[in-house]
Amino acid sequence: MTRMYCWKTVGAILILCLGAAPALPAQAFATLFTFEQMSGSNPSGSSPGYGALVQGIDGNLYGTTAYGGTSIYCPSAPPPSSAGCGTVFKITPGGVFQTVYNFCGEPNCTDGANPWAGLIVGTDGNFYGTTQYGGTGFEGSYLGNGTVFKITPQGEVTTLYSFSIAGYLGANPTSGLVQASNGNFYGTTSAGGTLQPGGHFSDGTVFELTEGGELSTVYNFCDTCGSNVVPYDPVNGLVQAGNGNFYGTATLVFEVTPGTLSTFYLPYYTDAVGALILATNGDLYGTNAGDAGTIFKFTPSGTPTTLYTFCSLTNCADGSQPYGSLLQATDGNFYGTTYTSGTGTGCNPLSYNHGCGTVFRITPAGELTTLHNFSSPVGNYQIAGLVQATNGKFYGTTNLTIFGLDTGLGPFVRTIPTADETGAKVIILGTDLTEATVVTFSGTAATFTVVSASEITATVPTGATTGVVEVTTPSGTLKSNVPFRVAP
């Protein structure tokens, strides 16, 4: 593939352009962009593999790198110390890459540093995320103890909250956010919280943050509270189930409501449990990377079922250690990645064999199919999960690359949010929406405005019930990937 580079600096935004990658035919895998190895100069960022990509309202894909960027000196970066404090980037489905923001662009990194988690799209169309370090909370760390931030698609960053251990409200978030049905944001911190007897801080928190930046603690984790069944050090995000409660993973699966936490055992090794997702059937699905790893289903009432155990094939040809979250695609199946094993070549044997990880599909019944085997020197060791864009294709990151995978699934539309009351304004994301003629909510016609080829705004019509959102275009009718729930 021939590449064409161009460099342009606009304020704090460094833009890197690439020639578009070739279109992906059915069942095709393509590397869309390759980051530089960790070095003294990483203008495009480095280590993008921790957080999953997300599709913005402009149809492009957005993500974060934990390190790299153009910040001259980043105290939190591994040697060389000039490796940068991380970036926010975007990439088109065709492979045109841009660095949208470089963290640690302000004195003492008050704008944040090291965004380990990916972004979410808020109901206002902007992105929201966390940084592990930076901010204005310098107590206990000269670099700050992390932030929650908002960033526009154009790269304007607003710090909504800076964590401080001395504030006892948590510190160092390494997970992303979820915007709940009440409009507030919920997340976890990996450290900090209330001061325990003997001067020991809690081991992380669950927090709630209003859109105006007011933060409150929902729960304080603790591993020294007299019980070995209390989870601690939460490093993954939360998911809100249909019952309104939040579920997450630490050393165990937990359910949390304000001030109350319940824990559930899983019937296998649970030291490395990934984030949960809410499936269309109302159950929770997750991955456990401990030992070879498993995929499990979990009902909101706390009943676990193991769907698949990795390394079931000779030499772990089916992959092992699925660190990333699952994704339920428009065909109803689940898709994900494994960190290692598979039949790829050129990787050091981290465990079991020399494979570099896989992309897989698994049915709700537990039938697993390997869709791609990664190989060295680039495109291996997957920690984050996948995203399905509204063109039907899958996109993800490795430790060095951004890739796309086309399995032949067709285009669809996605609503932001996925639930609201009648009369509310809803964003509908899709592909080639310019000539849309009709929008319906469970069959009831809605008034709408075409904003761009990738965005429609619509009003939830009176009389609409919970069901599929449909957009009629000259090329056919596009259906929402999940039912839209009309709130009472």
In this predicted model, what pLDDT tens digit does every residue of 245-268 receive, in sequence order?
Answer: 888 887 677 888 766 777 665 554
Percent of the chain with pLDDT over 90: 52
Please state the rounded mean pLDDT for residues 104-109. 80
- Residue 1 inside a domain? The answer is no
**In this predicted model, what pLDDT tens digit does every residue of 33-48 receive, in sequence order?**
998 765 556 788 888 8
Q: What is the pLDDT of residues 13-36, one digit of tens each?
A: 333 344 444 445 546 999 999 987
161 and 268 belong to one structural domain: yes
Q: Is residue 292 part of a domain?
A: yes
DSSP string over 196-219: ETTTEEPB-EEEEE-TTS-EEEEE
Asked whether residue 228 carries a pLDDT value surpassing 50, the answer given is: no
Give the range among 75-84, 187-196, 401-410 with minimum mean pLDDT.
75-84
Buried b (16+ CB within 10 A) or exposed e, 85-124: bbbbbbbbbebbbbbbbbbbbeeebbbbbbbbbbbbbbee
The domain boundary, picked from 406, 426, 443, lies at: 406
pLDDT given at position 146: 92
Asked if 282 and 300 count as a contact pair (C-beta separation under 8 A), the reply is yes
Assess whether 36 and 174 both reside in one domain: yes
Same domain, residue pair 338 and 359:
yes
Q: Looking at 63-67, 116-120, 168-172, which range is the least confident one?
A: 168-172
Minimal CA–CA distance to 55: which of 437, 480, 430? 430
How are beta strands 253-257 and 401-406 bridged, if at all? unpaired
| Between 196 and 352, residue with greater pLDDT | 196
Single residue among 379, 406, 433 that ends a domain in this structure? 406
Same domain, 478 and 380: no
Is residue 101 domain-shared with residue 156, that is, in the same domain? yes
**What φ, ψ does residue 426 adopt, rounded to 5°?**
-125, 140
Average model confidence (pLDDT) for the chain? Answer: 83
Q: For residue 40, what pLDDT is reported?
A: 53
What is the residue type of 287?
T
Domain identity same for 366 and 446? no
Domain that holds residue 233: 6-406
**Percent of the chain scoring above 70 in pLDDT:** 80
pLDDT in tens, 450-474: 999 999 999 999 999 999 999 999 9
Give the CATH number, domain containing residue 456.
2.60.40.10
User: What was the pLDDT predicted at 346?
Assistant: 79
What's the confidence (pLDDT) of residue 16? 39
Strands 394-397 and 401-406: antiparallel
What pTM does this model have?
A: 0.90
39 and 57 share one domain:
yes
Judge if 390 and 447 occupy the same domain. no
